[in-house]
Structure 1
Amino acid sequence: MSAFDQPRPATAWPSWAPTASFGLLAGMVAGLVLAAACDVLSLVACFRLRSVIGTDGGFTAASADSFDSAVSLYDAAARYQVIAYLPCAIVFVAWFLHMRRRTEPLGPDRFRNGPSWAVWAWCIPLANLWMPHRVATDMWTAATPLPRDGEPYRSRLWPVHLWWTLFLASGLFNRLAAYKYKHAVTFTEARSGVTQDIVSDALHLGAAAAAVYFAYRLTVMQRVKATAGPFGPAPVQPRTAEGTP
């Protein structure tokens, strides 16, 4: 049995325990909504271009104007995604660092890396494939209330895993789609690249929704633990009938 599974004795909770900032959370959510809106536009552009290309043996029967218009919308949507991604990423990393600092006093022993890794984890090649997930997992476990007497330590990490899996999958499909579309020789190959782009946009939308849920849950957990103490709110005792000892 690991140390994390051991019930912990009650201790005095520091009066200086931090509370979460919902202002930065709102800004981060707004950035994700903007990115999601660009993903929806990209999906519309992808479906339009895919329908124009057709499936007739690698040729298109659409007029030149229709084809050029569909390609123009597809390229514009891709540009909007890139433009929206930068401010969204900046605000998200700022929120990520903020929450890393806020959650550390709630469970210093849960963290395997210093606070600066909340930023560097996103910047270092290869390490950015798993380090942000590790930091997020540490924050989640730190914000999880400690077990009461006789209870095992449980931290349901599925919101963290879901967000990170969708995020990585969307990035992978995006790279494959861009490569396939850029190097397409026939309309059939281009249509295949657009289809992969549709999958990428759908996964990215899912990742944005999962990120909002993860961020909201973590923020609420941090606030509750900081205000109610390390064991969370006291359980509600059932009422007894009047006169019953």
Structure 2
Amino acid sequence: MSSVGLLAAAVGALALVALCDLFSLFAGFRLRAVIDADGGFVTAPQQAYAAAASLYETAGRYQGMVYLPCAIVFVVWFFRMRRNTGLLAPDRFRNGPGWAVGAWLIPLVNLWMPYRIALDMWGAATLLPSDGERYRARTWPVNLWWGLFAFSLLFNRYAGTTYQNAETPAEIKDAVTQYMAADLVHILAAAAAVHFAVRLTGMQRLKVMEGPYRSEVVKGASA
């Protein structure tokens, strides 16, 4: 599959993850509304609560079902981009191409090493300045994506632990609220991942076609 095809697959997978997160948000709002009805969970109709809780659990299962396939597609795209950008500027990389896959699989290491590889790819795909220009690679799309992704991952685990340990109506409501906040951050992280992936793929293709240095056309377009 071409880089553009992999990019389209990764964007589609991220969109599917975001849709499942939106469904989880809807189910969370519904569950909170049932808990708040008539003064709380104890007096709320048990049938309504059971239906809302079942919908919320279903939303969680959908999230789990789509997350792994999406992660696989994204990592395959990530590896392909590492290989392609490595051909453009091999001296900019601190690790071999295999780490573009392995970095995601090692606990704790996967909290920072993929980010370093992404920064290396971004720098390798950035066009070099023309004579007299100052070299400056703006890396905010990488920073935004990774910051939101890492935070959503940790926040989701914390919210999951809180939800599992919740017993009282107030605890259940607070746990659902935390899960909803985590879902919202995850949606933002998916959007940031799409932006990062599209930008990086475009930069890589432009550098292949235009050469390593910025042309006047590229400078005018960026201005």
**Shorter-chain TM-score: which interval?**
over 0.9
Correspondence for 2:195 among 208, 213, 223 = 213
- Counterparts of 2:175 and 2:101, CA distance in 1: 33
- Counterparts of 2:24 and 2:165, CA distance in 1: 20
Cross-structure match for 1:114: 96
Amino acid at match of 2:49: F
Cross-structure match for 1:66: 48
Correspondence for 2:131 among 139, 149, 155 = 149
- Counterparts of 2:28 and 2:44, CA distance in 1: 16
Aligned ranges 1:80-119 → 2 under 5 Å: 80-119=62-101
1:223 aligns with 2:197: no
Deviation at 1:237, TM superposition (A): 10
Cross-structure match for 1:195: 177
- Counterparts of 1:237 and 1:132, CA distance in 2: 30
Deviation at 1:233, TM superposition (A): 3.0
- Counterparts of 2:20 and 2:219, CA distance in 1: 49
Uncovered stretches (5+) of structure 1, i.e. residues with no partner: 1-19, 239-245
Correspondence for 2:10 among 28, 34, 50 = 28
- Counterparts of 1:165 and 1:117, CA distance in 2: 20
1:47 aligns with 2:29: yes
Q: Percent sequence identity over matched residues?
A: 58
Correspondence for 1:174 among 127, 152, 156 = 156
Amino acid at match of 2:97: P
- Counterparts of 1:43 and 1:124, CA distance in 2: 30
1:135 aligns with 2:117: yes
- Counterparts of 2:140 and 2:201, CA distance in 1: 16
Deviation at 1:98, TM superposition (A): 0.3
Q: TM-score, normalised by structure 1?
A: 0.85
**What stretches of structure 1 move > 2 A for 4+ residues in a row?**
55-61, 232-238
Aligned length: 219
Q: CA RMSD in A?
A: 1.8
Deviation at 1:45, TM superposition (A): 0.7
Uncovered stretches (5+) of structure 2, i.e. residues with no partner: none
Deviations 1:147-190 (A, max 9, x none): 21122211100000000111111111211111111111201011
1:236–1:153 CA distance, 2 compared to 1 (3 A): closer
